[in-house]
């Protein structure tokens, strides 16, 4: 079976064929780094990671690009409210986002372009559109894309533009899902834009790029005029991706993207995420509550990306048990006695069947739910086959471990769990050493050193509690 993907553009499951045999170009719409990314965002980003990992696992040479939006309406509003420049506001959130991705085992991609580094190419792109009759400078100091000039407008979302009011414009970045109007490629600078450093010189005066333009320019600059895969959340189909297609294909005259894939929104405790409900949860909040990264990763990939996923803390507990079951299985297999004289077992066949099931699941539009099921089919089958067997042939044991670790190269659960535990062990060793140094200082009545050690630990979020049984410690959120 070859890889098939649900292409939003054709509304059908299609066999995946990259433009260049053996190589895949992928562009993913990353976060707007004006605030912390929440777990709804991370459902999407973990899907990106599954695509990245599985394509590489399948032998493709992958070039994967994910932008970090560092200038748009939301960024400017947030920077202005904080009284800082857009760079000062976005840099810390960008670093936190990348740290969170590493915590959840999301592999680094080849490039994380930021819009502010591509202003000159964006201006040149607009000039190209104006010269081709697809854009025009308006009396409000902005430059707009003329959707009337692009007959294919609306094809991704399936919007009927026959009732379009010619010349009607929309200047802001996000708008109603059926609001097909000319959209801003370049916006005239406001006083607020200038104050936060979000204004640049252009042939049309001081201003800044429109959000939709940014991804077209960065993706084509990084990956070429035609991209194999473009990924994003379902909320980006219109207007963002619709507008990307229009401006990109109008400028280049060639197809922009071969396969569009969109991730369904996440529910939290049965409700849609919204600011009014206060159910925006960050990765760091969950870590502070004591949930481990592998459990978070497991729950967020436990459902097919186009299916419903209800994120709950009860579900996290179940995910923790599921991850622990895989860890226990791995430990059992690594500890099993081997004997070349042992009787043949069905483990080779079980391993091969599990791997085939895993591959079939992932080839079926990256179905991570069924892929995870293949792991537990292996765990259950092998555990059952081990009963009453004092030893295994090394070839049988190794086959099981090889398949388990091969599947985990895509799922990343053991990988994340092992990294998290190594970090915990390192932290524990460091803290215990400091506690001993503090005890020695107190025994020598060197209370200045004792207090300095306590303060050093407190600065790292570690609180000491002295009691009759000795000194205990805990990490504070």
How far apart are alpha carbons 97 and 293 in whole angstroms? 14
Token duo for residue 423: 């970090």
Q: Fold match between 4-263 and 271-411?
A: no
Q: What is the CATH number of domain 4-263?
A: 3.40.50.620
Higher pLDDT, 3 or 160: 3
Helix (H, G, I), strand (E, B) or coil at 314: helix
Please answer whether residues 309 and 264 qualify as being in contact, where contact means their C-beta atoms are separated by less than 8 angstroms. Answer: yes
Please answer whether residues 407 and 426 qualify as being in contact, where contact means their C-beta atoms are separated by less than 8 angstroms. Answer: no
Burial classification of residue 91, based on how many CB atoms lie within 10 Å of its CB (0-12 exposed, 13-18 middle, 19 or more buried):
middle
Task: Name the pLDDT band for 422 (thresholds 50, 70, 90).
Answer: confident
How far apart are alpha carbons 15 and 362 in whole angstroms? 13
| Average pLDDT value for residue range 279-308 | 94
The rounded mean pLDDT for the chain is 92
Helix (H, G, I), strand (E, B) or coil at 51: helix
Please answer whether residues 67 and 230 qualify as being in contact, where contact means their C-beta atoms are separated by less than 8 angstroms. Answer: no
Rounded (10°) CA dihedral 427, 428, 430, 435: 140
- Domain assignments of the chain as residue spans, ordered by start: 4-263, 271-411, 422-475
Closest CA to 339 of 282, 396, 279, 290: 396
Closest CA to 299 of 281, 274, 277: 281
Task: Name the pLDDT band for 356 (thresholds 50, 70, 90).
Answer: very high
How far apart are alpha carbons 272 and 253 in whole angstroms? 39
Q: What is the pTM of this model?
A: 0.89
Q: What is the CATH number of domain 271-411?
A: 1.10.730.10
Residue 131 confidence (pLDDT):
98
Per DSSP bridges, beta strands 267-268 and 271-272 are antiparallel
* DSSP character string of 71-126: SSHHHHHHHHHHTS-HHHHHHHHHHHHHHHHHHTTPPP-SB--BGGG-HHHHHHHH
Task: Name the pLDDT band for 477 (thresholds 50, 70, 90).
Answer: very low
Token duo for residue 190: 């406001």
**For residue 19, what are the contacts with CB-CB under 8 A and spacing of at least 6?**
25, 226, 228, 258
Predicted confidence (pLDDT) at residue 470 exceeds the cutoff of 80: no
Exposed e or buried b for every residue in 55-90, given b needs 16+ CB within 10 A? Answer: bbbbebebbbbbbbbbbbbbbbebbbeeebebbebb
Predicted confidence (pLDDT) at residue 80 exceeds the cutoff of 90: yes
Predicted confidence (pLDDT) at residue 113 exceeds the cutoff of 50: yes
Distances (CA, A) of 126 to 1, 243, 259: 43, 14, 25
């Amino acid at each position: 079976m070859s890889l098939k993907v649900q292409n939003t553009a054709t509304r059908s499951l299609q066999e995946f064929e990259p433009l260049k045999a053996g190589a895949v170009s992928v562009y993913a719409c990353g976060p707007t780094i004006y605030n912390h990314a929440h777990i709804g965002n991370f459902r999407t980003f973990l899907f990106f990671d599954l695509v990245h990992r599985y394509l590489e696992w399948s032998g493709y040479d992958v070039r994967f690009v994910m932008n970090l939006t560092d200038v748009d309406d939301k960024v400017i509003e947030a920077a202005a409210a904080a009284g800082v420049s857009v760079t000062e506001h976005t840099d810390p959130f960008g670093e936190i986002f990348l740290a969170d991705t590493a915590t959840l085992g999301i592999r680094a991609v080849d490039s994380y372009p930021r819009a502010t580094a591509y202003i000159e190419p964006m201006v040149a792109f607009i000039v190209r559109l104006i010269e081709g009759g697809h854009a025009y400078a308006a009396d409000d100091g902005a430059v707009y894309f003329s959707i009337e000039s692009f007959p294919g407008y609306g094809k991704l979302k399936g919007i009927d533009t026959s009732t379009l009011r010619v010349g009607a414009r929309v200047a802001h970045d996000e708008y109603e899902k059926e609001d097909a109007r000319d959209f801003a490629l370049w916006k005239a600078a406001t006083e607020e834009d200038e104050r936060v450093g979000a204004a640049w010189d252009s042939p049309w005066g001081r201003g800044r790029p429109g959000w939709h333009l940014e991804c077209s320019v960065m993706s084509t600059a990084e990956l070429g005029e035609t991209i194999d895969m473009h990924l994003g959340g379902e909320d980006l189909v219109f207007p963002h991706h619709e507008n990307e297609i229009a401006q990109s294909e109008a400028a280049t005259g060639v197809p922009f993207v071969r396969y569009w894939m969109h991730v369904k929104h996440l529910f939290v405790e049965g409700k849609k995420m919204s600011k009014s409900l206060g159910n925006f949860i960050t990765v760091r909040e969950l870590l502070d509550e004591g949930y481990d990264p592998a459990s978070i990763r497991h729950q967020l990939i436990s459902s097919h990306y186009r299916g419903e996923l209800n994120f709950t803390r009860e579900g996290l507990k179940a995910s923790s048990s599921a991850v622990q079951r895989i860890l226990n299985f791995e430990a059992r297999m690594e500890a099993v006695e081997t004997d070349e004289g042992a009787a043949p077992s069905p483990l080779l066949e079980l391993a091969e069947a599990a791997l085939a099931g895993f591959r079939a699941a992932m080839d079926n539009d990256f179905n991570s739910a069924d892929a995870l099921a293949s792991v537990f089919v292996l765990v259950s089958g092998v555990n059952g086959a081990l009963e009453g067997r004092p030893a295994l042939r090394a070839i049988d044991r190794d086959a099981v471990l090889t398949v388990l670790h091969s599947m985990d190269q895509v799922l990343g659960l053991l990988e994340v769990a092992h990294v998290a535990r190594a970090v915990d062990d390192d932290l524990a060793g460091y803290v215990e050493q400091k506690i001993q140094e503090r005890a020695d200082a107190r025994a020598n009545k060197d209370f200045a050193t004792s207090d300095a050690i306590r303060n050093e630990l407190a600065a790292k979020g570690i609180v000491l509690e002295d009691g009759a049984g000795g000194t205990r410690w805990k990490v504070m959120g």
